[in-house]
A and B are shown apart, each in its own frame.
Chain A
Amino acid sequence: MTGASGAVDDGSAMDDTSYDVAIVGAGISGALIANRLTNAGLRVLVLEAGPATAWTFDGYAAHLDHFYEADGKGPESAWPPAAGAPQPDTADLRSGGGYFVQQGPDSYGSSYTRLLGGSTLHWLGVCLRMLPEDFELRSRYGVGRDWPLGYADLEPYYREAEWEVGVSADAADQSHLGIEFPDGYDYPMHALPPSYSDQVLGAAVDGMTVTLGGQPFALRVRGYPAARNSMPRDGYQPVGAVDERGEGQALARDLGQRCQGNTSCTPICPVQAKYNAQKSLAKADRRNLRVIPQAVAARVLADPVSGQVTGVEYQRYANPDSPRHTRAVARARCYVLAAHAVENAKLMLASGLGADSPVGEGLMDHPALYAWGLSPAPVGAYRGPLSTAGIDDLRGGAFRASHAAFRFDIGNDGWRATTGAPDTSVAAAVASLGMFGTRLRRHLEATLPRQVRFSVAVEQLPSPNNKVTIDPRYVDPLGNPRPVISYHVDDYPRAGMAAATDVYQRVFAQAGIEDRTDSGEGAWFPSLAYDGRVFHYHGMGHFAGTHTMGSSAAGSVVDADQRCWAHRNLFVVGSGSFPTMGTSNPTLTMAALSLRTADRMIKELTR
C-alpha cells in the first residue's frame, strides 16, 4: 500500500529485534515520544491501528480529493476508517449507530481518527496552554480535583512543545490569566495575521466589560496561538508537508511552509501548513524506529504477580477493507499506550489492566454551543484559517466555584459549521425565498460575507459516571470491543452554557450583529435544558479523563509521569491522563506531558 517508505513498513518481515519501547498509536503523543526516544538512541516499535495512507504526499492528496467529493464536509470526511480500525463519526450521533455504543443519558458528540497521524490530521490547530488555576481547581474553587503537578512543573515542557509542534503566537499577547513566560522566551513563529473579521469584531468589542459572579471582566478579541506556519523567529525553520517515499525522496516539503489560508484546517489542510503528528514521526531517528501500520493492539499481556507488561498482542490486516488479519506479539522493555483517551481505556479494560483503579472513568469533553449571526457590514467570511482569534477572558475567575468557565472561538468560515452554509444558505434562498438569477446572486453577495460564528467551548468536570466501558455484546469486525459510552452533562457546564449565552448575546449586541442562533437554520445537534432554556450542543473533539493521573494510587490510574500505578513498565499517555481539562483544547498540554514522559523514560532506560 504505502510501500517501504522510511521506517513505515507493511509488517510482513519477521521481527526478532528487541525493542526498548513499544508504543501503541502514532498520533501526537506516540509520535512525540517516538521522536524523542529514537533520537536518544532507544529502539522503538510503533503499532498504528490505522493505515499510513497520508504518509506520502500522493496519499495525502487522495485524502484531499476524498474531502472534495464528500457530500458532508465533517471532520471525518477526508479520513475514512479501515474495517479493522473503526472510528466514531459525528454523523452517527443523530442515528444512534456507528462505532460508539452510546448509553446516555446525553450524547457524547466528539469523534477521532485512527490513522497514522491520528486526529491531528483534522484538528483546528489551536495551541492554548492551560491556565495555572486549571491545575488547582479543587484547592482554589472547591470543584473538580487538583493535578499532581502544576503549571510551573509543566511550563518548560509547554515551551518545548511549542517549538516541536511549531506554534505561531506572540508571548506578550498571550501573557494573561496568570500565564507567564520566562524572560526572553517567545514562540517559534510570529502570530498569524488576524482575520479581517477579528479586526472588525475587535474594534467593536475590545474593552467592553461583563460581570460574572460579581466580578467585572474586560473582554478582548485575542489572537489564538496556532500550530500553523507563519513568519519564523530566531532562525526557526517551519516544517511543511510530510512526503515520505522510497529512496529518501521528499518532493513536496516546500509546500506548507506558510499557512496559505485554505479555510479548511478541519477536516484537512491541503498543504500541511498546519501541524500533524506525521511531522514529528518524520523527524525520528529512522535507524531506531520501526512503524507498523494496520496493526491493531488487541490485548496487553501482563505478569499476574508483578504486574509487569510482557507484550502487546496485535492484529495485522493487509487489506483495509477487510477484517482478515494475522496475530503477533510485540515485545519490549517498556510499553506506551498512546492510542487515544477512549482507545487507551478500552485496551486496558480488555486486557484487565489497572484493576481496582478507575480505568475509563472521568470522561470529559467541551460540550460546546454555536452562536451565529449577521454582521452589519461584510467581515470577509469564508477566508483564512478556520479560527484565528477568540475571546478567552472568561476562562478563569472566582465564578468557577459555581459554574463552568468558557471561551469563544471566532470562526472565519461563516456559518459552515453551524448550518452547513454556504450550501444551505443557497438552498434556503432558492427553496424558501423563491430566489433565482440576479436577485439570488445579490442576496448571497450581501449576506454570505457578513456571516459570523462563535463556538462556545464550555468546561466540564470529571465524574465517575461519565465513562468508557466495554461489553462483550458489542464488538468490532476484528472482535475487539467497541467503546460503550456513558455521558451526562451536569448542571456545572449547563450553568456555564447559560452564562456564556448571556455574554455572547451582549457581545453580538455590542458589535451590532443580528443574532440568528437557533433560528431554525441550524444543523441538528443534541439538546439539553437548564433553567427553562434549551441548548443545542456539540462535541469539540476534546476527549479527556479515562486514565486520570493522581498523586497516589488511590483514585487514579497513572502518576504525574503518566506511568501506570499497577504496571510500572507501562506508560498510558495523552489527554486521558488529564484530571480536569479547563477550557483549552487539550493538544498542547498532551504534547507537553508526552515530552515530559519521554524524558522520564530516557532517564530510566539509558541508565
Chain B
Amino acid sequence: MSWHTQSARPGRPAARAMEPSATDGAVDAAGAADQAVTGERAQRFLAMSVILTGYGRVQLTGTGLTTAYLRAIDTALPAGLLDDLISVFGRVLAGPRSSDDDLAANVASVILDDPRLGPVARNVILLWYCGTWHALSDAWYAAYGAPPLDTTGVVSAQAYQGGLQWAAAGAHPAGARQQGFGAWSAPPEPVPPAPAPAQPVPEGAGT
C-alpha cells in the first residue's frame, strides 16, 4: 500500500521524505540535530525562535527538530528568504532598546508587520508550536511569487509530537507520550514560569 511505504506523500515536498521516519526518528533526528544545531545558521535561527515562541533554547533544541524545521523551511521557501528573516531579526536584536517591551515592539513593527517577512515569521511560530508548515497566502504569492514546494502539512510524525502547544497545555501530544494510568485524575501541574527573554546572540557568535 502506498501509504505504508512512507514515500513522498501528496502535497508534501519530496525532500521531507528523506527525513527520519517516526520509527527511527527519536534516535536519528536527535543525532543529526546535535551536529547541525551547533552551526552558526542554526544558532541564529534558534535565537530568533526563542523570541518568537517564548520558549528557551534548551526546550527548543530538546525537541530534536531544529534541523528538520530548517530543512522544511528551506524546502518551502525561495532561497535566501529565511536568511533574510534571520538577518533582519539579528539587527533588531542587536539594536538599541531599554526594555523587553521595546524588543517586542521592535519585533512587531520591523518583522511581523513587514508584508514579506511577517508571514514567514508567523509560520516559524506555528512550526514550533504545531509541527505544521502552513503555505503562505495567495496575497503573498501575488506580491513575491509562489514557491512550488510551499504546501501545508505536518512536517513529520516527530514534529507532530514535538509541538510546543502540548507543553503549553500542560499535557502531552494526543496519541503519544502518554502520562500513564489514572494520571488524568490528578490536577494539572502548574506550568513553570516562562523564562525571561533570552539574551540575543550577536551575529557571528554561533559556534
Contact = CB atoms under 8 A, between A and B. Distances in A.
A437 B164 CA distance: 12
A436 interface: yes
Interface in B151-206: 152-154, 156-158, 160-161, 164-166, 168-172, 174-176, 178-188, 191, 194-195, 197
Contacts of A383: 170-172, 179, 183-184, 188
B88 to A, nearest CB: 15
Interface residues of A, number: 67
Contacts of A51: 1
Nearest to A263: B174
Nearest to B104: A437
Nearest to B151: A71
B53 to A, nearest CB: 7
Interface in A53-70: 53, 61-62, 64-70
A130 B54 CA distance: 50
B125 A436 contact: yes
A439 interface: yes
B42 interface: no
Given A69-B154, A263-B174, A382-B172, A440 B125 contact: yes
Nearest to A1: B1
A430 B112 CA distance: 10
Interface in B1-33: 1-4, 6, 9, 11, 21-23
Contact of A437 (B51, B132, B157, B174): B51
A480 B195 CA distance: 60
A61 B55 CA distance: 31
Contact of A380 (B168, B184, B194): B184
Given A259-B181, A430-B125, A440-B53, A70 B171 contact: no
Interface string A260-272: 1111100010110
A445 B107 CA distance: 22
B64 to A, nearest CB: 15
A385 B183 CA distance: 10
Contact of B154 (A1, A71, A259, A431): A71
A564 interface: no
A196 interface: yes
Contacts of A425: 165
A436 B112 contact: yes
Contact of A434 (B112, B171, B174, B182): B112
Interface stretch (A151-159, A408-416, A463-471, A506-514): A408-416
B185 A263 contact: no
A437 B21 CA distance: 30
Nearest to A62: B4
Given A196-B188, A430-B126, A263 B53 contact: no
A195 interface: yes
B184 A264 contact: no
B97 interface: no
A444 interface: yes
Contact of B180 (A64, A261, A379): A261
Contacts of A439: 54, 104
Interface residue tally of chain B, by bracket? Answer: 35 or more
Nearest to B153: A71
B36 interface: no
A232 interface: no
Contact of B175 (A53, A263, A378): A263
B122 interface: yes
Given A264-B175, A383-B172, A422 B184 contact: no
Contacts of B180: 260-261
Contacts of B156: 69
A98 interface: no
Nearest to B196: A438
A380 B53 contact: no
Contacts of B195: 438
A7 interface: no
A559 to B, nearest CB: 41
Interface of A: 1, 51, 53, 61-62, 64-71, 73, 80, 82, 192-196, 199, 230, 258-264, 268, 270-271, 320-321, 378-385, 388, 412-414, 416, 422-423, 425-427, 430-431, 434, 436-442, 444-445, 448-449
12 contacts: A65-B22, A69-B157, A196-B186, A321-B2, A383-B179, A384-B183, A422-B165, A431-B122, A436-B54, A441-B53, A445-B170, A448-B165
